[in-house]
Each structure stands twice: as structure tokens, then as C-alpha cells.
Structure 1
Amino acid sequence: METVAKEAVAKTVTLNSGHTMPTFGLGVFDVKDQGVITDSIVEFGYRHIDTAKVYGNEELVGKAIADAIKAGVPREELFITTKLWRTEYSDPVQACKDSLERLNLDYVDMYLIHWSIPELESDQKTIKKTPMHKVWEGMEACVEQG
């Protein structure tokens, strides 16, 4: 990859928390080839990997991350984002733990609310009553628990 492109991939911003986040990330929606992810990290210099439970590939992403680490990329250089899906609003902490297990990681760098639209009851008309402030409390608990 050309030097200019690698420099673009390597740029970061500092978040309010003080952590740095790469400005250029690899979104892995619908990626089913572990090698594509590993190569993007090792060969092309991507450090921000953006996945989600609803993509159905967190395990694949976790294996690709493990391969990249084995190839010499330090975990500390990686910025891994995954997301809380609306069917898990009632227990964000458990949902995050489940994602960590699928990714085979001790932590993710960012955990987002993927689609902040309430889940519907089985009638597909009635909104489930999980208040967003309660969802947010669960998200904050994820941060507190590390």
C-alpha cells in the first residue's frame, strides 16, 4: 500500500475519555472471509475494526484479530468497536459480555447502541417498554466493569 494511504489509515482523534480512535475503520458487515479482515489489519494497516452482533460474524472477526496479533500487531494498537442490538436493551452488560466471548477478547474499545429504535412486541406494533435511560445505565455499567 502506498505511504500516503497508510498514513491516512493511521490518523487518530482523541476522544473525550482521553482514548485515541483511528479515524479510518474497517466495517465488516457481511464479511465472511477471515483472511480479508486479517490482511486488512496486517498488510494494509487498519487498526479500527467495526463489527456488531447482528452482523453474525463476531467469532470470525475475533479469529482474524487473533491472527493479526500472532502476526505481530499489538492488541493495544487495535481499536475494536461492536454494538448493542435493540433486542438486548434489557441487559446491555450481558450482551457486551456475550460479544466479548464471541470476539474472544477481554475488552472492546467502543460499545455502541447500534440502532436506537425500540424493540417491538410480537404483534410488531407495541413498543417494548425498556426506557432508553435504563439502556444507557447499562452501557455505563459496561464501561465501569471494564
Structure 2
Amino acid sequence: MEKLNDIIDPQSVPQRNLYTGVKMPGIGMGTFGSDRFTAEEVANAVKGAAEVGFRLFDCASVYGNEHLIGEVFKEIMETGIKREELFITSKVWNDKHDDVIESCKKTLKDLQLDYLDVYFVHWPFPNFHGKGVSIDSRDPNAKPYIHENYMKTWRQMEQLVEMGLVKHIGTSNMTIPKLKLVLRDAKIKPAINEMELHPCFQQPELFDYLKENEIVPIGFCPIGSPTRPDRDKTENDFVDIEDPIVVKIAKAHGVHPAVICVKWAVQRGQSPIPFSIYRNEYASNLKAAVTDLLTDEEMKEMEKVDKNCRLIKGDVFLWKAGQTWEALWDVDGEITPA
């Protein structure tokens, strides 16, 4: 690959220690952009991100671009980057909870890989919605979280580890009440939980619970996802990069507020997965992880930015008319019943 002045040495990127002893990069590249960008644009961004030093790539079958990203992974490894230098994740979608193994095999074929570093259950609800759906077009077969059914899915996830198709398995879009049950009943516990994390939505209780149980958090929407789908936007949402504290700290460092969001995430201990198709932006994200760190005082000040503002509310997964999105997230500390 061409040596450019925006390249960061992957060895300089902070690492997260999984409970298995494996290390995972402390920042990665997301690949969800299908509502705004073409699959080709996303795949080209993955190629460029690898050039500047990214090694963690977060994929999913429902994004509709794994077949093109697989071509990029093939190119990347032909340049001399070894498979073991990459940390690649993917996810089983909601309509494949009963067919996890075949879903994973399809992803491996599309990504042109022999194994995944992590495979996630994308959502804990076995619905069928994919991209481009509206809140008013809920799946008539939608169901709540039913632990017995989730564990049937998890048993298949554990089989993937036993088969050598994945190195680790993980949860995503979960809550503490759900995770308590999974940890109680799992033979192989989740190594990672993927969750929404940004300065305006810090989820401190869940974050601390994961740390206590040696589960590493991957944080999506790390800068507040300004390009998220329109269906996920509401008039009450806060904009992280416009928060006065974030703006003030950004001015002190002479950078865009988005860079501060990334610095905060990496220093806090999660692995953010920002996405952009623009080289200057994703190169800047990676550089943020290794240079000009925030002070302890600034990190403490960033705690005040938290507004408990969830952006990806998941309304389309509600199973009854008249429900609000809070039912998906066990806001009362107990799993919402059917």
C-alpha cells in the first residue's frame, strides 16, 4: 500500500484485552451506511481505512455490503497484511435466529474469510425488519425478548466457536436484565457487547456492568451519528458535536468536536467504530486515538455531557400497538413482558 502522511502505525493504537487473552483494537471502522451511501462507497472506505491503519472492521449481513467488503479484505491480505492482524466482526440478523450457523457460513463466504474474530446476535428480538423500514411498518410477527428462545440462538453461537468458525461470540443492543440471564445460562459467555455509546449517551450503569463481567464494549454512533437513517431521528435528540463542553474542549485542542468524541471514547475504555467514506475523516478518527490525549480534567468534564439521549431507539421492533421504544430497553430494570 502507498505510504501516505496520514498513516498511523496499527501497533500504536490502544488495545482492549478480551477475557480469552486476545487483544482487540481500541478503535475500529463501522460499515453501516446503506441509507446514505452505496455498498461500493462503503467497501472503498474500508479499503482506505486499512491503508491508514485501521485493523478492526465491524460488519453485518443486513448491511448488504459484505460481498463487496470481502473483495476488499482479499485485496488487503494480498498486500501483505496477515489475517491475524485484522479483527473482523459480523452479526446474525433478526430473521436468522433459528439458522445461525448457515447465516455465519454465508457471511464467511461473502467476506472471503475462514473465521470471524467475533460474531454477534445483532438484536435480541427475532423480527424481520431490515433497512428502509418506517416505524409504521412493524413486523406483524414481532416478538419480545423471550429468554428461552434467545438461549436457543446462543447455543448455535456457541457451536460456531466449537466449530472454529468464530473466535468469540458477542451480544448487541442488550440490557443489564437480559445480560444477567445470558451470563447465568451461557456455556461460553459473551466477550464483547456492542452498544450505542457517545458523549450524550454514556450508559454508565451498563458500561460498568460490562467491565465488572470482563465484557468489552464496542460503541456505535460514537459522534452521535449525524448520518443515521431519518427514521431514527426525533426532535428531542441532542447533537453531541454541538454540546458546549465538547465544543470548548475541541477549541482547546484545535480540532473538530467529532475528534473529541472519538478521543473520549477511546480513553474511556470502549472501542468506538466511527464510519465515514471520506479519507480525511476516517484518518482523523484513527489519529485521534493515538495523539493529543484529553486530560483527566477534560475526561471528568465530559461526564457532564451525558443527556441519556438514545438515538437508535429500535421502534420498529416493538411487538404491540401503543408501546413506546422504552419497552425494548427494560428502563424499569426488568425485562418487559409480552
- With normalisation by structure 1, the TM-score equals 0.86
Q: Percent identity?
A: 35
Q: Does 1:51 align with 2:59?
A: yes
Q: Does 1:143 align with 2:146?
A: no
Q: Does 1:127 align with 2:143?
A: yes
Report how far residue 9 of structure 1 moved: 6.9
Report the AA paired with residue 25 of structure 1.
Answer: G
State the distance in 1 between where 2:123 and 2:150 align.
12
Q: Does 1:86 align with 2:94?
A: yes
Q: Does 1:19 align with 2:28?
A: no
Distance 1:70 1:123, change over 3 A: closer
- The alignment partner of 2:52 has SS state of coil
Contact 1:9 1:24 (C-alpha < 8 Å) held by counterparts: no
- The alignment partner of 1:81 has SS state of strand
Equivalent in the alignment of 1:36: 45
State the distance in 1 between where 2:139 and 2:121 align.
24
> Which of 50, 73, 77 lines up with 1:65 in the alignment?
73
- The alignment partner of 2:101 has SS state of helix
- The alignment partner of 2:119 has SS state of strand
Q: Which one is further off, 110-119 or 123-132?
A: 123-132
Contact 1:9 1:23 (C-alpha < 8 Å) held by counterparts: no
| Matched length | 143
Q: Which runs of 4+ in 1 moved over 6 A?
A: none
State the distance in 2 between where 1:101 and 1:136 align.
22
Distance 1:70 1:18, change over 3 A: same
Larger Cα Rg: Structure 1 or Structure 2?
Answer: 2
> Which of 87, 96, 107 lines up with 2:115 in the alignment?
107
Contact 1:25 1:47 (C-alpha < 8 Å) held by counterparts: yes
5+ long unaligned stretches in structure 2: 34-38, 129-137, 165-338
Deviations 1:97-116 (CA, angstroms, capped at 9, x unpaired): 11101111100100001111
5+ long unaligned stretches in structure 1: none
- With normalisation by structure 2, the TM-score equals 0.39
